[in-house]
Amino acid sequence: MKLTELISDVDVKEIIGSEQLNVSGVAFNSREVRPGNVFVCITGFKTDGHKYAEDAISRGAIAIIAERDLSNLGVTCIICENTRLALAKAAANFYGHPEKKFRLIGVTGTNGKTTTTYLIKSVLESMGRRVGLIGTNQNMIGAEVIPSKHTTPDALELMQLFSKMAEKGAEYVVMEVSSHSLALDRVTACRFDVGAFTNITQDHLDFHKTMEKYLEAKGILFTISKAGVINRDDSGSDYLLKTSTCDKVLTYGAENDCDLRASEIVLSEKGVHFNVSFKNEKYEVALGIPGMFSVYNALTALGCLAAVGIPMAEAVEALKSARGVKGRVEVVETGRDFSVIIDYAHTPDGLYNVIRTIRGFCKGRIITVFGCGGDRDVTKRPKMGRIAAELSDYCVVTSDNPRSEDPEKIIADVVVGVKEGKCDYTVVTNRFEAIEFALDYAKKDDVVLLAGKGHETYQILKDRTIDFDEREIVHKLLNIQGEN
């Protein structure tokens, strides 16, 4: 590919040097540069890619895309206003815009993204479609699993994934779209067939600083999507509907007038059952995942499927056989007279929803084991503590992914909120020992909720990342107890 083709729709301020170069690839990490690559200088949060331009050239870079003049380094320098956006567009150009070779569905929101994307994938595959999936748990091409590093990959990795999916015949790709990816232009080069919004509650304020900025980031999806699917019951919907540039928008909910409206909702430990009204027709929906949030996840999925032309009757029928997602209200088989549930709830709203869901079917006590992540929004810690203490019968406050922070300090922040609740609690800093304590404490008909880790099979400490699969830990501890 010629350099001129690579930067064909990049907002270039100035080109210093030859444009007629043969390009072998694109990189933004100097250590990954190969001969003939174009190196994009990204200004990050910890370092500045402009500092590594010389290293990139020594490794074979033939041109630099930068936000300032680096022509003194002896290679072609393309100067632009925003190198993150330039990277997204250059990557799309290099891989031949693979996102145009399938129907692209993006789901954004604080909670519900993972389950919703899996529901959409499940329905489409039951109809014989080939589907790619990109998200928090993993990336998939059909049945092939590709581990994921971020909820939404960086712009370059994203186009590489799209290219692989297109090569393998994907007809649809459904992906989680994080607020970070929208704010950092990872997906700006895409044109989504459908963009969907689940909800917005407090999260990622360490990055966005305010809820207004957080919602603004979510809103970007509805400026790069042909169709929008928006939760009308969420307070953020007014802003999204006002700022959307989608050709058409479908709204859904259970409380307000909307295009897809749920009614006659029945919740049980086996799942949800409700009717949905759409275009003057009523459809009976059943989904084997408990909780009111499952109603909203189902509505989001049905809205997306309707937006790409799937008949509602077919989508509703296929949804009946859809199953849950690892780490989302996941029941761990124990062989005991109490239950263990693992859930990814790591936000105030997520924790509230999962405990309320369990309260709907729990015959005994709810014992909640939880903590908060380090190097993340500190203001949600006491809020999560208060929610857990108000809704649970007993709390075990422990460590989550402390990262560079002191676990004891994180726990102290959480306990401030726990003390405002009404239930008893204990602090067990070591998460393995906290789970052991909870299992020992559990009695007949109790539910032990392990909240925060969900699908994760590791724990991020200050100096290392360790294996930490809570399913394996529960089985190990119960087997140990059985032998004593």
Q: What is the DSSP letter of 2?
A: B
Asked whether residue 325 is assigned to any structural domain, the reply reads no
pLDDT band at 484 (very low <50, low <70, confident <90, very high): very low
Q: Indicate if 388 and 466 belong to the same structural domain.
A: yes
- Least confident range from 57-71, 207-221, 435-449: namely 207-221
Q: In this model, does residue 400 exceed pLDDT 90? A: yes
Q: Indicate if 157 and 273 belong to the same structural domain.
A: yes
Q: Average pLDDT of 306-331?
A: 92
Looking at residue 153, its pLDDT comes to 85
Q: Average pLDDT of 232-243?
A: 95
**CATH code: domain of residue 387:** 3.90.190.20
Looking at residue 422, its pLDDT comes to 84
Asked whether residue 461 is assigned to any structural domain, the reply reads yes
Burial of 283 (0-12, 13-18, 19+ CB in 10 A): middle
Whole-number percent of the chain with pLDDT over 90: 80
Asked whether residue 166 is assigned to any structural domain, the reply reads yes
E strand or H helix at 211: helix 211-219
Q: How many CB atoms lie within 10 A of CB 265?
A: 13
**CATH code: domain of residue 137:** 3.40.1190.10
Q: Would you say 125 and 131 are in contact if contact means Cβ atoms under 8 Å apart?
A: yes
Higher pLDDT, 124 or 334: 124
Give CA–CA dist 393/228, Å, rounded: 41
Three-state secondary structure call for residue 296:
helix
Amino acid at position 202, single letter:
Q
- Strand residues in 349-408 grouped as ranges (E): 366-370, 394-397
Q: Average pLDDT of 76-95?
A: 96
Q: Indicate if 273 and 127 belong to the same structural domain.
A: yes
- Strand residues in 198-270 grouped as ranges (E): 225-231, 248-253, 260-268
Q: Indicate if 80 and 109 belong to the same structural domain.
A: no
Give CA–CA dist 433/107, Å, rounded: 36
Asked whether residue 41 is assigned to any structural domain, the reply reads yes
Asked whether residue 167 is assigned to any structural domain, the reply reads yes
Please enumerate in sequence order all residues whose Cβ is within 8 A of that of 384, keeping only pairs 6 or more positions apart, or say none. Answer: 347, 348, 351, 370, 372, 414, 417
| pLDDT per residue as tens digits for the range 25-35 | 999 999 999 99
**CATH code: domain of residue 41:** 3.40.1390.10
E strand or H helix at 189: none
Give CA–CA dist 323/52, Å, rounded: 47
Asked whether residue 160 is assigned to any structural domain, the reply reads yes
Asked whether residue 440 is assigned to any structural domain, the reply reads yes
pLDDT band at 138 (very low <50, low <70, confident <90, very high): confident
- Least confident range from 47-51, 322-326, 327-331: namely 322-326
Q: Indicate if 272 and 355 belong to the same structural domain.
A: no
Q: Indicate if 312 and 396 belong to the same structural domain.
A: no
Q: Indicate if 310 and 337 belong to the same structural domain.
A: no
Q: In this model, does residue 482 exceed pLDDT 50? A: no
Q: Indicate if 62 and 196 belong to the same structural domain.
A: no
| pLDDT per residue as tens digits for the range 175-221 | 999 888 898 889 989 999 999 999 988 565 566 578 889 899 999 99
Q: In this model, does residue 481 exceed pLDDT 80? A: no
Q: Are strands 447-451 and 424-427 parallel, antiparallel or unpaired?
A: unpaired
Q: Indicate if 62 and 106 belong to the same structural domain.
A: no
Asked whether residue 324 is assigned to any structural domain, the reply reads no
Q: Indicate if 379 and 289 belong to the same structural domain.
A: no
This prediction has a pTM of 0.80
Instruction: Choose the final residue of a domain: 36, 63, 89.
Output: 89
Pick the closest to residue 126 from 321, 292, 262 (CA basis). Answer: 321
- Residue 397: domain span: 330-483
- Least confident range from 79-88, 207-216, 325-334, 394-403: namely 207-216
| pLDDT per residue as tens digits for the range 448-460 | 999 999 999 999 9
**How many domains does the chain contain in total?**
3
Instruction: Choose the final residue of a domain: 58, 89, 120.
Output: 89
Query: How many residues in the chain?
Result: 484
Q: In this model, does residue 87 exceed pLDDT 90? A: yes
Instruction: Choose the final residue of a domain: 89, 121, 144.
Output: 89
Looking at residue 47, its pLDDT comes to 85
pLDDT band at 479 (very low <50, low <70, confident <90, very high): confident
Q: Indicate if 386 and 280 belong to the same structural domain.
A: no
| pLDDT per residue as tens digits for the range 270-317 | 789 999 999 999 999 999 888 888 999 999 999 999 999 999 999 999
pLDDT band at 480 (very low <50, low <70, confident <90, very high): low
* Tokens 């509703």, residue located: 316
Q: Indicate if 206 and 298 belong to the same structural domain.
A: yes
